[in-house]
Amino acid sequence: MTLANRVVAPAGIRIRVLVVDDSVVIRRLVTQALSEDPEIEVVGVAANGRIALDRIPQLNPDVITLDIEMPEMDGLQTLRRLRAEYPKVRAIMFSTLTERGAAVTLEALSLGASDYVAKPANVGSLDVSVKRLRDELLPKIKQFFIRPAAAARPPQRAAAPSPAGFRPAARERRVVVIGCSTGGPNALSMIFPALPAALPVPIVLVQHMPPLFTRLLAERLEAQSKIQVREAQGGEELQAGVALVAPGDHHIVLQRKGARVVTALNQEPPENSCRPAADVLFRSVAEIYGGDAVAVVLTGMGQDGLRGIELLKSQGAHVIAQDEASSVVWGMPGFVARAGLADEVTPIEQVAQRILRVLPKA
Give the separation between CA 278 and CA 281, rounded to whole angstroms: 5
Catalytic residue among 114, 181, 225, 327: 181
| One-letter amino acid for residue 14 of the chain | R
**Is residue 318 flagged as an active site residue?**
no
Is there a catalytic annotation at residue 304? yes
Q: Determine which one of 21, 95, 189, 208 is catalytic.
A: 208
Tell me the CB-side half-sphere exposure of residue 38, using CA atoms within 13 A: 2
Please state, as a whole number, how many other Cβ atoms lie within 10 Å of the Cβ of residue 264.
16
Does the bond joining 276 to the residue before it have cis omega, within 30 degrees of 0? yes
Partnered with residue 40 across adjacent β-strands are: 15
How would DSSP label each residue in 260-276? Answer: EEEEEEE-PPPBTTBSS
Annotation says 225 is catalytic: no
Neighbours of 153 (CB within 10 A): 9
DSSP labels, 226-258: SSEEEE--SSPBP-TTEEEEPPTT-EEEEEEET
Of the chain, the end-to-end C-alpha distance in Å amounts to: 46
67, 115, 304, 343: the active-site residue = 304
Enumerate the active-site residues.
181, 208, 304
